[in-house]
């Protein structure tokens, strides 16, 4: 991975707990591509792709970011197309360098970037796995609704209660901060009260209007920091036993990840930097 980094000199700084987020993504990528690899077209869509390489804060370790993980994690069937959305020009150029076969969209995913993504998916119809890892409240719920309608997709979303708490704390002094919260949740119902963790239920209930299966995995960082990875899938038909099994597999992964703290995540650095693969949760 160091050789990849030397080609662009672009890396996104993350804490060691980000490894668990990537582990969940890599795990689900493999399940998804194993089952849907028989399909004519399977797309990977990354709404906040970054430069493709992550650097662990306080170390010199560089590891695969989500776009490279999506390309390399599948053991048998690979994604037909990668659609990578990244507003930062330097990061977008880095993606074009290390993943030249991908479609890089360097516009705001809530605005012009969404139009470009729609155009791409309309010309590459099939199944899509969408990964949304925004900073704070950067993903508007209206954008998420359109993505649910754009493609036959499963979605993984990073929900960050710490970022929400920061904005919630500003609303009393600056009422205009209410608008980003309403855009994020897609409803003013957040005003009823609660902190970022308590409002997770509201966010998931909003998603359930568009996807029947919604699973939230808590990833613990430092003592005061954690986030949730939310999996949203479509309704499972009774005969689709394979899809039912992949949701159960994600539930088992949830149980294991939620037992991991930041110290344990640090110990995984050797695994990640050595093999450059995702974590094996013991599933066949």
Chain center to CA of 273: 21
DSSP bridge pairs for 81: 43
pLDDT score at 160 = 95
d(CA 105, CA 97): 14
Cα radius of gyration (the chain)? 18
How many CB atoms neighbour CB 102 within 10 A? 21
Question: In this predicted model, which residue has the larger pLDDT, 4 or 116?
Answer: 116
Among 31-35, 138-142, 200-204, which stretch is predicted with the lowest mean pLDDT? Answer: 31-35
Q: Count the helices and strands in the chain (H runs, E runs).
A: 12, 10
- On the question of pLDDT at 220 being above 90, the answer is no
Give residue limits of the domains in the chain.
Answer: 2-275
Q: What is the mean pLDDT of the chain?
A: 86
DSSP 3-state assignment of 232? strand
Instruction: Could you please state the CATH topology (level 3) that the domain comprising 2-275 is classified under.
Output: Rossmann fold (3.40.50)
Averaged pLDDT, 70-80: 90
pLDDT score at 280 = 41
pLDDT score at 3 = 85
The secondary element (H helix, E strand) that includes residue 29 is helix 18-36
d(CA 70, CA 45): 9
pTM for the full model? 0.88
Give the helix ranges, DSSP H, for 169-261. Answer: 178-185, 200-207, 241-257
What are 231-269's pLDDT values in tens digits? 998 765 545 556 566 677 777 777 777 776 655 555 555
pLDDT score at 246 = 63
Averaged pLDDT, 148-166: 92
Question: In this predicted model, which residue has the larger pLDDT, 173 or 39?
Answer: 173
**Beta carbons of 76 and 33 less than 8 angstroms apart:** yes
Among 51-60, 135-144, 229-238, which stretch is predicted with the lowest mean pLDDT? Answer: 229-238
Query: What is the torsion angle, in degrees rounded to the nearest 10, for the CA atoms of residue 27, residue 5, residue 264 and residue 23?
Result: -10
DSSP 3-state assignment of 260? coil
């Amino acid at each position: 991975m160091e050789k990849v980094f030397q080609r662009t000199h672009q890396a996104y700084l993350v804490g060691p707990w980000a490894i668990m987020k990537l582990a969940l993504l890599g795990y689900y990528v493999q399940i998804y591509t194993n089952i849907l690899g028989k399909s004519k077209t399977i797309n990977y869509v990354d709404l906040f792709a970054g430069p493709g390489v992550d650097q662990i804060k306080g170390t010199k370790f560089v590891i695969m970011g989500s776009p490279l993980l999506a390309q390399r994690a599948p053991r048998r069937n690979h994604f037909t197309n990668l659609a990578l959305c990244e507003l930062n020009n330097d990061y977008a150029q880095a993606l074009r360098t290390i993943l030249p076969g991908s479609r890089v969209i360097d516009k705001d995913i809530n605005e012009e970037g969404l139009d470009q993504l729609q155009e791409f998916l309309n010309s590459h119809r099939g199944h899509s796995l969408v990964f949304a890892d925004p900073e704070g409240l950067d993903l508007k719920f209206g954008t998420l609704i359109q993505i649910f309608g754009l493609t036959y997709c499963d979605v993984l979303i990073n929900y960050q209660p710490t970022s929400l708490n920061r904005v919630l704390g500003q609303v009393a002094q600056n009422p205009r901060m209410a608008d980003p919260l309403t855009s994020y949740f897609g409803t003013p119902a957040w005003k009823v009260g609660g902190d970022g963790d308590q409002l997770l239920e509201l966010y998931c209930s909003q998603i359930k209007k568009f996807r029947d299966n919604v699973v939230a995995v808590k990833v613990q960082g430092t003592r005061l920091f954690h986030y949730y990875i939310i999996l949203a899938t479509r309704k499972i038909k009774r005969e689709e036993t394979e899809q039912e099994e992949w949701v159960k597999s994600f539930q088992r992964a949830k149980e294991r990840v939620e037992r991991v703290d930041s110290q344990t995540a640090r110990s995984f650095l050797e695994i990640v930097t050595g093999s450059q693969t995702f974590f094996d949760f013991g599933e066949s």
